[in-house]
Amino acid sequence: MKLTFVLLIFISTECLAASTDVCEFLKLPNCHGVTRQLRRSSFPTSPSSTTAANLNPANVSLDRGIGLDIMYQPKNSLLFGLSSGTGKMGGALISGSIENSFFGNRAPELDEEMADRMVNDKQYRNKKFTFAIAAKLFSQKNYGLDAGLILKRHPLIKKINPGFGLSGRLWKFSFGASSYKDDYFVDLTKFSPIGATQTYSELSGKKSIQDTYTVTTYAMGLRVWNFAFDYGLIKSKPDFYKDETVITIYSSSFNYKNLLLNLAVRNESSNTYDNIDERLKVKQPSNIYSGVQYSINDHILFGVHYNYFLLNEMSISTTLFI
């Protein structure tokens, strides 16, 4: 069983602009660390604000303070996310991405590379940097709308791609949509087709394949009492694949006092393969994610997650609010 350790640190600063969030001033039962994970205007059932912001910049956390997210899994490089908010505006800088993970889009990669990753418990890594900012357009008791901008940069391609997102709520319903450009880079020098003795590079005469494609996301949700339900849709069509990739995510959460439970199902229709017994077989992947988070007090949140990186791994998380 693989193990991931996630550390998220949020440092509040009183010198930032005043917030309209009553939780910043009053110690109410529903203002503990668990509810900080649920205050996004759309897709509150995603495991963290960093996850949500990677898909839609309008989901950037607007909570007052400065945040640092650090994620570590054995055999993998360190991931981090830096965020800051004023209560009405927020920004996030994220290293890496959640591509080819449970809540991410499908980025192109060689089938043999994906099989090698899964056998060796490796996350999909592209060293990409993401910057996102968001602001409240308007906010009332029963409705609100946020807007966000996102910039993505692949260090090997060195081009900045923009995107835009909207996120809102109306009574007990939430909605969100985003569209952004993204780059992919496929190294052809390291892997060979199954049964071949030459690499893809030697066979094609190219060292790599790179291109820009568009990713669009949609989300609809409903919150009733302590339950939240979300439907998410991620669509992309890189030239690397013959058909369009369509990912649907059915996500839910339940919070009671200091406890937060998450359960989600991901269905993917794409030209990818699945690694079964170290062999590639055509499959339309379907995966399950589950998570449990518990807030000890206003400052500390612990969590256990299953299959966040689509490696059937167990992950643990700690969130510190200071």
Between 176 and 5, where is the model more confident?
A: 176
CB distance 89 to 37 below 8 Å: no
pLDDT of residue 318: 78
CA distance 127 to 185: 11
Distance from chain centroid for Cα 255: 20
Between 291 and 9, where is the model more confident?
A: 291
106 - beta bridge partners?
Answer: none
**DSSP 3-state assignment of 134?**
strand
Report domain extents, the chain.
Answer: 3-321
Mean pLDDT for the chain overall: 83
CA distance 94 to 54: 8
**pLDDT above 80 (res 52):** yes
Mean pLDDT is highest, among 44-48, 249-253, 271-275, for: 249-253
> Phi/psi at 181 (nearest 5 deg)?
-85, 150
Name residue, tokens 């005469």. 205
Reported confidence tier of residue 32, pLDDT bands at 50, 70, 90: low
pLDDT of residue 3: 55
Buried b (16+ CB within 10 A) or exposed e, 187-212: bbeebbeeeeeebbbeeeeeeebeee
* Backbone conformation region of residue 87, classed left if phi is above 0, alpha if psi is from -120 to 50, else beta: left
Average of pLDDT values for 55-68? 86
CA distance 28 to 31: 5
Name residue, tokens 């889009």. 105
pLDDT of residue 317: 82
CATH architecture of the domain 3-321 equals Beta Barrel (2.40)
Reported confidence tier of residue 303, pLDDT bands at 50, 70, 90: confident
Which token pair is 293?
A: 């988070």
Indicate the length of the chain as a whole number.
322
pLDDT of residue 69: 76
**pLDDT above 80 (res 27):** no
pLDDT of residue 273: 61
CB distance 126 to 155 below 8 Å: no
Reported confidence tier of residue 283, pLDDT bands at 50, 70, 90: low
**pLDDT above 90 (res 206):** yes
Range list of β-strands (E), 48-172: 65-72, 79-85, 89-95, 129-139, 143-154, 159-170
pLDDT of residue 67: 75
Average of pLDDT values for 288-300? 87
**pLDDT above 50 (res 30):** no
- Structure pTM? 0.88
Do the strands 259-269 and 286-295 form a parallel or antiparallel pair, or are they unpaired?
Answer: antiparallel
Reported confidence tier of residue 23, pLDDT bands at 50, 70, 90: low
Which token pair is 206?
A: 């190219």
CB distance 214 to 181 below 8 Å: yes
Please provide the distance, in angstroms rounded to a whole number, between the alpha carbons at the two ends of the chain.
32
pLDDT of residue 102: 94
- pLDDT per residue as tens digits for the range 214-270: 999 999 999 998 999 999 999 999 999 888 999 999 999 999 888 999 999 999 988
pLDDT of residue 87: 86
- pLDDT per residue as tens digits for the range 235-247: 999 999 888 999 9
Instruction: Name which of 297, 163, 292 is nearest 217 in CA terms.
Output: 163
Average of pLDDT values for 25-53? 72
